[in-house]
């Protein structure tokens, strides 16, 4: 049976995620303690572990309070251990984490930061990508470069199409507006933005197939011509799009 997924709004526009199954409950990223602890209490769930994607404060700052309240163990990237809360288990890209009765694969998605990882749960069809692949967008390149981020997005784009992409923020408005500015004749994008507006809801999580159809950073092959970059590589087109989004 697939694990149950609960999406939690935290801070101003962050997401945290609870995954629950017969073997327990885990949290992916810890922006804020109160929404997490309130949800756990309301559902009568005990938190077993926290999976951390990267070191930015808005993804880790609530770890001490949540650990103090729940005793959960903390799992994060060895490459980021010096700037993460104390880890009970360090992982590296290519590792697997046996958790909740499933095997989670650790994927290197550096670019937004160096050492950023994603967690892919293939049995339940979910990937927790935080600030790498995002709904209709991707994270800013604070530490990595465009080639690095393109490699990371390509790894995520190789996952099965029905995989649910669980990203780290609700940037629907800004990402959707930029996507429409560079891909205005895309009917899938138009439909997605209409559905979001009518439902007055978030654009995440969404399937990888939906991101492939609407996310400009996964549509570089289709946007090469409109950008006048017919001879450019995919990585070069991505770099142009990322620079355009930074100035949007």
Please indicate if the annotation marks 82 as binding a ligand.
no
What pLDDT, on a 0 to 100 scale, did the predictor assign at position 200? Answer: 67
pLDDT of residue 204: 72
pLDDT tens digits, 61-81: 999 999 999 999 999 999 999
Which CA distances in Å does 181 have to 175, 197, 245? 10, 17, 10
Q: State yes or no: 57 annotated in a binding site.
A: no
Write out 30-61 in H/E/C secondary structure. Answer: CCCHHHHHHHHHHHCCCEEEEECCCCCHHHHC
Q: Which phi and psi (to 5°) does residue 220 adopt?
A: -60, -35
- Is 20 annotated as belonging to a binding site? no
Q: Which of 176, 152, 169, 164 is nearest to 128 (CA)?
A: 164
In DSSP terms, which residues pair with 176 in a beta bridge?
Answer: none
What is the rounded CA–CA span in Å between residue 234 and residue 225?
12
Write down the pLDDT at residue 196: 87
Q: What is the pLDDT along the chain (248 residues), one digit of tens a residue?
A: 689 999 999 999 999 999 999 999 999 999 999 999 999 999 999 999 999 999 999 999 999 999 999 999 999 999 999 999 999 999 999 999 999 999 999 999 999 999 999 999 999 999 999 999 999 999 999 999 999 999 999 999 999 999 999 999 999 989 999 999 999 999 999 999 998 888 766 677 999 999 999 999 999 999 999 999 999 999 999 999 999 999 99
The answer to the question of whether 120 is labelled as a binding residue is no
pLDDT for the residue numbered 203: 75
Fill in the DSSP letter of residue 215. Answer: -
111: left (phi over 0), alpha (psi -120 to 50) or beta: left
Dist CA 27 CA 14 (whole Å): 14
Are the CB atoms for 61 and 67 separated by under 8 Å?
A: no
Report whether 24 contacts 101 (CB < 8 A): no
On whether 59 is known to bind a ligand per the annotation, the reply is: yes
For 174-222, the pLDDT digits (tens) are: 999 999 999 999 999 999 999 888 876 667 799 999 999 999 999 999 9
54 known ligand binder: yes
End-to-end CA distance of the chain: 43
Q: What is the pLDDT of residue 193?
A: 93
**By the 8 A CB rule, do 229 and 162 touch?**
no
Is 58 flagged in the annotation as binding?
yes
The pTM assigned to this predicted structure is: 0.96
Give the tokens for residue 215: 């996310």
**What are the structural domains of the chain?**
4-246 (3.60.15.10)
């Amino acid at each position: 049976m697939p694990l149950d997924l609960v999406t939690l709004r935290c801070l101003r526009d962050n997401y945290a995620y609870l995954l629950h199954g017969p073997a327990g409950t885990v949290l992916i990223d810890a922006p804020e303690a109160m929404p997490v602890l309130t949800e756990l209490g309301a559902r009568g769930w005990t938190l077993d572990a926290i999976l951390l994607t990267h070191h930015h404060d808005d993804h880790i700052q609530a770890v001490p309070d949540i650990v103090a309240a729940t005793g959960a163990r903390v799992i994060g990237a060895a490459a980021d251990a010096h700037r993460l809360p104390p880890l009970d288990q360090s992982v590296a890209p290519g590792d697997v984490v046996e958790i909740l009765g499933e095997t989670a694969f650790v994927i290197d998605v550096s670019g937004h930061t160096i050492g950023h990882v994603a967690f892919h749960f293939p049995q339940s069809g979910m990937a927790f990508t935080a600030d790498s692949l995002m709904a209709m967008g991707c994270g800013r390149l604070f530490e990595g470069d465009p080639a690095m981020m393109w490699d990371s997005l390509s790894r995520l784009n190789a996952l099965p199409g029905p995989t649910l992409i669980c990203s780290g923020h609700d940037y629907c408005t800004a990402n959707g507006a930029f996507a429409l500015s560079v891909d205005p004749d895309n009917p899938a994008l138009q439909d997605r933005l209409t559905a979001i507006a009518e439902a007055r809801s978030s654009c995440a999580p969404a399937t990888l197939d939906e991101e492939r159809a609407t996310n400009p950073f996964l549509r570089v092959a289709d946007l090469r011509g409109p950008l006048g970059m017919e001879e450019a590589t995919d990585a070069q087109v991505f770099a142009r799009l990322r620079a355009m989004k930074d100035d949007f």
